[in-house]
Chain A
Amino acid sequence: MKLNLLVATLTLGAVSLLRTAETNAPSLPAVIPALAFKHATLPNGLEIYSVEDHSSPTVAVQIWYHVGSKDDPNGRSGFAHLFEHMMFKGNEHLKPDTFDQLTENVGGQNNAFTAADMTVYHEIVPSNYLQPIFWAEAERMSSLALNDANFNSERDVVKEEYRQRILANPYGEFSLALEQNSFAVHPYKRPGIGNMAELDASQLPEVRAFHSTFYRPDNATLIVVGDFKQSDLDAWTKKYFGSIPKPAEKIPRVTVSEPPRKDDARQVLYSAKAPLPAFALTYLGPAIRSEDAPALSLADTILSDGESSRLYQTLVYEQQIAGRVSFDADLREDLGLLTFSAVLASGKSVADAEKALDAQLENVLKNGVTEDELKKAKSQFLTGKLRELQTNNGKAGALGAAAVLYGDAARVNTELAKVQAVTADQIKTVLNKYLTGKKRVVIEYLPEAAKAAPTQSPEQKSK
């Protein structure tokens, strides 16, 4: 990275932190340079965010489509993800391997991921390949040419992905069970990877329909960060994406709202593969745009990021009840899920671990967090941000999340101040808001051998 690039932005929106340096160690002040992004909207609705940055001769390109696993058609769990795979199969002009030829073959890379609320296609290319990649992205936004052969073969690949992530992994089925049991009616209950039967049931015409429903310029956000001239970018985005029409139909959105939980629930599952018990507690949380998000993110860090975090120090280090433990504040577009989970140490029971976790929850809900813990979490957040900003791709990801998930691109520069402003009292308040008196779902995932105990039933039981 070159210093002169940052000079222009350092004064603008930079956040200064305490300095402690006093020796010969290097002591640049810890400031985060603001991302000086440009924004444009094409007449067809495509949103474009860009950051010109010549520190490496590459460009990161991302297209965020506002469609995710929650938009899987009924009876087609896993469809948005299967569809993501089909986006690499080309059309009349776009030969099947084009994305790999324009990225991998010239020293770049490409990939995509499907989340609950969005699907993101991302590339890193040498900067002289920016125009070709725009052309290719515009082509697949416009149309796909599909046939039974490439559909069936790609579906087989997705089924192998399912086997690899879920069936070959001793805790794969545990991870599926979290979402399945935590939501009552919202489509977030359907895991994005889907299931074999519904993948098998998917049809080629459904792929075409999904494309025309969701893959349109007014449902997409283009992020470009790296080595280009802004004037070229403005011309090229118009040239390649400008002629894609905006359909007249409205984009369907999930409108189901998840009701508050009425009861606690407990699901007990057995696995022939898992050598150690695991368990999770979940609570419903707020949507990602909630003003409680920054405090929950810091609570997440204080409770379970790093070896000095509360849950690691108590359950893993001191009590040695668990091998790993986490608290995840997974906030999504419609609502969030707050998940505590642990894989236990040998010889420990879920009852031991649940009791130990409950003691920690009780403590934090009653006494809150300390000023030292708060300061520590803010430092961790700041370094995390700095690390993210080391690469064009990291910057593009941060900008995309701000623009699409938060609906506020400027947040990429204001988030740090929001997080720095959170107080210890606020953390205590939000944790109580979502946990105290709220209904919890417990998922126990036990080695098959535990079934021997005659009093336990593999069926669902209520707490």
Chain B
Amino acid sequence: MKAPRFGLIVLAGFAAVSRAAYAIVGIDAPPPPSAPPETHFAQPKETKLENGLRVIVAERPGLPLLAAELVVRRGAEVDPPNLAGTASMTGALLTKGTESMSAPQIASAIESLGADISSGAGWDQSTVSIIMMSDKADAALTILADVVLHPTFKQEEIDRLKKQRLDALRVALQQPGSLAGFVSERVVFGSGEYGHSAGGTMETLQAMQRDDIVKLYKSCYSPENASLIFVGSITLEQGKACAEKFFGAWKGSPMAIAKTQPASLTEWKRQNVVIDMPQAGQAAVAVAKPAIKRDSPDYYSGLVANAALGNGFISRLNREIRIKRGLSYGVRSSLDARRDPGPFSAAAQTKNESAAEVAKLLISELKRLETDPVQGEELKSRQAVLTGGYARGLETNEGFAASLASLAAYNLPLERLNQFLPKINAVTTKDVNAFVNKYFATPPSLIIVGKTPAFLEPLKKAFPDVRVIPQSDLDLNSADLVKGK
């Protein structure tokens, strides 16, 4: 560490000088940082069981806490047409009853161990994760294996979960932010594999039958299609022995599954959609368009471009919308890279009266990435936002396990974990520009959910082609967003 540079520090004697003027006598500017520390993460190791299950272990001695995660390389992307939410329901139902335990028995057994289990589906993967004290691993992993291998999908549990999800959805549909999210998916992907609501809609949840769930389970949950991850005070040998003991008897091979085709990027058409929600207490304003695959060579430059735009308190969007104009509590943009090209989006909530202004700012800041390149200190700072955030995500055993699960879901080499920092730091202004030109050259779609009388007139001046859909006519099952024909 470097020595501090200022020699003359006057301490308590002068302490009484005006508080309003300065705190630290003789130091008016921040002291420079000392030499940066090095960051390195545990190196994950892997092996495979005879049944094809991949076993990944990151040994992190220390606290007697073990995280385990079972990840299956299929998610809401394989929801059957008109049955949005099937993968999500299937994942959630795993912990709701097995051949030997009822839902209350599973909950009681897990919680008695002090453990925590959760299961569900993302877009391209389904996971069951559990965190436990190391000395309770045997009992907890017995339950993990049981819910993955022997779920019963009892009709009673399906009905109960459906009702809970329908009620939760009734609430979400009254929130401008979550409704804008559902609408964005349709606007970006239409009838493509990512166009539906991953959690299901009022209609698809009601239509879903037990057979649909069992079929999805049989098609996707098999050892060849799965990875088991351990993070904590555990060696590869111990991890393999555990995997063998609890998952060695798992049989079955993945069945071919009819999958909705990905939306064609070349056919994608920009559209500007407003949902009129008469009771909206605030407007949700979003821009979105399809972007990149997870294994795209543009992944790292895309993350940096996105970070400059809307990742962090002083990213460009927050500077313009929150700091300079006080128009929102916060703005963020995201680049969600998936197995097939996933969405880029940026969103903010603002008072209904400012919706048009925020929409224009979202568009103009996206445009400014081209004309005012990300370079110098800004580039460096956004690289740090990404590398720092990545490192914080790996601080906990469960966070580390989730990162490994994501690499496994996309069949990416485990070395990527330790390559993230250098790869982000290698991104140049030229790389960011190339990304911006390739993916942001045409403007995104605009999605607003709010009280239209407050903003429609000024909005139409900037976006004359805007299409207004009353909330009562909205149909999230339709690529076209409206009911009937």
Contact = CB atoms under 8 A, between A and B. Distances in A.
B164 interface: yes
A204 interface: no
Nearest to B170: A275
B32 A160 contact: no
Interface stretch (A331-339, A383-391, A436-444, A455-463): A383-391
Given A27-B135, A243-B12, A107 B25 contact: no
A108 interface: yes
A333 to B, nearest CB: 27
Interface stretch (B183-191, B320-328, B368-376, B452-460): B320-328
A243 B19 CA distance: 10
Contacts of A124: 392
A96 to B, nearest CB: 8
Nearest to B235: A26
B256 interface: no
A398 to B, nearest CB: 14
B64 A31 contact: yes
A245 to B, nearest CB: 5
A354 to B, nearest CB: 18
Given A126-B37, A131-B31, A243-B10, A107 B163 contact: no
B116 interface: yes
A135 B281 contact: no
A382 B281 contact: no
A132 B32 contact: yes
Contacts, number: 321
A372 B39 CA distance: 44
B62 A383 contact: no
B33 A164 contact: no
B463 to A, nearest CB: 22
B229 to A, nearest CB: 14
A142 B387 contact: no
B138 A132 contact: no
Interface stretch (A64-72, A147-155, A261-269, A415-423): A147-155
Interface residues of B, number: 111
Given A1-B63, A390-B395, A138 B24 contact: yes
A210 interface: no
Interface stretch (B174-182, B409-417, B427-435): B174-182
B171 interface: yes
B62 A2 contact: yes
Contacts of A40: none
Given A20-B135, A386-B64, A135 B34 contact: no
Contact of B238 (A26, A142, A308, A323): A26
B133 A383 contact: yes
B234 A26 contact: yes
A14 to B, nearest CB: 11
Interface in B95-143: 103-104, 107-108, 110-116, 131-139, 141
**How big is the A interface, by class?**
35 or more
A24 B234 CA distance: 10
A272 B278 CA distance: 10
A297 interface: no
Contacts of A341: none
A387 B131 contact: yes
Contact of B388 (A98, A109, A127, A157): A109
7 contacts: A100-B314, A124-B392, A138-B24, A160-B350, A376-B114, A382-B114, A382-B133
Interface of A: 1-3, 5-6, 17, 19-31, 33, 43-44, 55-58, 92-93, 96-98, 100-102, 104-110, 124, 126-129, 131-132, 135-136, 138-139, 141-143, 152-157, 159-161, 163-164, 166-172, 212, 227, 232, 238-240, 242-245, 247, 272-276, 305-309, 313, 316-317, 320, 323, 343, 345-346, 372, 375-376, 379-383, 386-387, 389-391
Given A30-B134, A43-B12, A159-B351, 10 more contacts: A1-B60, A28-B134, A93-B29, A104-B314, A105-B380, A143-B22, A153-B326, A273-B279, A345-B164, A375-B112
